[in-house]
Structure 1
Amino acid sequence: MSNLNETVNLIEEWGSKHGLDKIENNDKQLLKTVEEVGELAEAHNKKYPDKVIDSVGDIFVTLVLYCMQRNISITDCINEAYQTITRREGKTIDGVFIKKEDL
Structure 2
Amino acid sequence: MEMEKLINKVNKWFENRDIAVGDGLGQIKKLKEEVEELEDAHAANDFTEEVDAVGDITVVLIGYCLQRGLDFAECLAHAYEEIKDRTGHVKDGVFVKNE
TM-score tier (shorter):
over 0.9
Output one character per residue of 1:45-97: Cα deviation in whole Å (capped at 9) or x when no partner: 01111000000000000000000000100001000000011121101123110
CA distance in 2, matches of 1:36, 1:55: 6
Corresponding letter in the other structure for 2:95: F
Write the mapping of 1:38-57 to structure 2, written as runs, cut at 5 A: 38-57=36-55
Query: 1:70 is matched with which residue?
Result: 68
- 2:69 aligns to what SS in structure 1? coil
- Structure 2 unpaired stretches of 5+: none
* 1:19, distance to aligned residue in structure 2 (A): 1.1
Length-normalised TM-score, structure 1 = 0.92
CA distance in 1, matches of 2:92, 2:41: 21
- 2:84 aligns to what SS in structure 1? helix
In terms of fraction of residues, the more helix-rich structure is 1
Write the mapping of 1:5-84 to structure 2, written as runs, cut at 5 A: 5-24=4-23, 26-84=24-82
- 2:89 aligns to what SS in structure 1? strand
Length-normalised TM-score, structure 2 = 0.96
Output one character per residue of 1:9-61: Cα deviation in whole Å (capped at 9) or x when no partner: 0000010000111124x211111011100000000001111000000000000
State percent identity of aligned pairs.
34
RMSD between aligned residues: 0.8
| 4+ long deviations beyond 4 Å | none
Q: Would you say how many aligned residue pairs link Structure 1 and Structure 2?
A: 99
Corresponding letter in the other structure for 2:26: K
CA distance in 2, matches of 1:94, 1:30: 28
